Amino acid sequence: MNRVFTCLFLLLALSAQAQEEIKFNQNGNWEQTKARAGAENKLIFVDCYTDWCGPCKWMDKNVFTAAPVASFYNTNFINAKIDMEKGEGIELRKKYAIQSFPTFLFVNSKGEVVHRTGSRMSVEEFLEEGKKAANPSKNLSFLNRKYEDGARDLPFLLDYFMVLQKSDRSSAEKIGKDIVNGISAAELNTELGWKVIKTLARTESDKLGAHFMANENVYGKWGSQEERDQLKDRLITSTMYGYIYGKDEQAFMKKLVYFKKSDKIDRRKQGIMLEAEFYLQEDRADDYVKLTNAALKNELKNDADKLSFLARRSSGGKSRDVTALPAIQQQAYLMAKRAVELEPEEYSVQSTFALVCLGLKKKPEALAAAKKSRSLADAETSKIQKLAQELLDKVEAL
């Protein structure tokens, strides 16, 4: 009897789990899908994908199966998943000018796009896009009409910018410039001003960034300490890159104290990344090795992403002659190897290690990493698959 109850429990659990995903393509062809949308007075959500699209597969696995997403999309939309390189998808790709994948369309029963977005997103971001599409006063079609009718008030422009960011970046850039040029100092010191600043500030010296840095405490009313810290770090980082490429060591080292003396681990990590880039640009191998050796033992010892980034950055590229910097090349090897130990199933980590080993002519290690990265690339885009194969071919020819 206990076995029966156990089996029933497992079946119920599996059934509940299966329900927690977006239900696609239950409506026949595109014309039948539109007919059903009209009959139920719903929009059609179209996942425009291809077989080779890595981000599409990631969304399938991590977002479309999330319970809040599944519940909202299954309740509010007729859901269609269409390969843009097969069958009806070929014509739909032309009709709706699909240029990147994934693209997400929200279409009415007449076949008119009312909202458009795309790219890999978090559960929260994707759910928010669905809510915008379902809201007649928030979707892209409504905002386009409102803009064409002459609406230029700040709250509207910010909403419009946020939607355009994911669907039409060139138009979003124009709207962003209009917002920055038009916002007053008085408006900046409001909750709406805070939203504008955290969305559009780019450097410490631009209009929005400079105002935030001079009036940071004002925004405690609307932004958490974490949000304000993240914005401040981003703006200061941008300034420091200017010092790096402008070769202003005095200004760079003075500003670096902000990161190095922090009690926040993420801020200290960012300081290491910036200082490493400075030494790399100056070909200061001894300083670079000293810095990264310390990081390997402390702040970055368990951070595969940053170690792999540093290794790839310092292992060479179009603008660097790595043969002149053997000490830095060896340091890249140590960092890349540690990253592989931490994240052996990550494509970028394995490909970086393969690239570094190739540069050092360590063929056995390079070959193992290149083969692993080629295998992992199958879950990525066709471009990445091509790069992984090219890397493997180079290693095999070593």
One-letter amino acid for residue 113 of the chain = V
Residue 53 annotated in active site = yes
Strand partners, 320: 317
Q: Work out the angle at residue 160's Cα, subtended by the Cα atoms of residues 157 and 165, and round it to the nearest 5 degrees.
A: 125
Cα separation of 78 and 111, whole Å? Answer: 13
**What six digits make up the tokens of 9?**
């429990």
Three-class DSSP category at 63: coil
Of 202, 230, 198, 232, nearest to 214 by C-alpha is 232
Which residue from 308, 265, 268 is spatially nearest to 291, judged by alpha carbons?
268
357 is catalytic: no
> What is the edge-to-edge ordering of all strands in the sheet holding 43-49?
77-83, 43-49, 103-107, 113-118
Note whether 169 and 118 are within 8 A (CB).
no
| Alpha helices for 29-122 (secondary structure H) | 30-40, 54-62, 67-76, 88-95
Q: CA-CA distance, 99 to 164, in Å (whole number)?
A: 15
Q: Nearest 5°: phi and psi at 116?
A: -145, 135
Contact 163, 105 (CB under 8 A): no
CA 168 to chain centre: 16
Rounded CA gap, 363 and 353, in Å?
A: 11
Taking the mean position of all CA atoms in its chain, how far away is CA 7? 41
Going by C-beta distance under 8 Å and a sequence separation of 6 or more, which residues neighbour residue 319? none
> What does residue 261 show for φ and ψ, rounded to 5 degrees?
-95, 5
Which residue spans within the chain are E strands per DSSP?
Answer: 43-49, 77-83, 103-107, 113-118
- Helix (H) or strand (E) segment spanning residue 208: helix 207-214
Q: State both tokens at 98.
A: 């699909």
Q: How far apart, in whole angstroms, are the C-alpha atoms of residue 357 and residue 363?
A: 7
Amino acid, single-letter form, for residue 1: M
Active-site positions read 53, 56
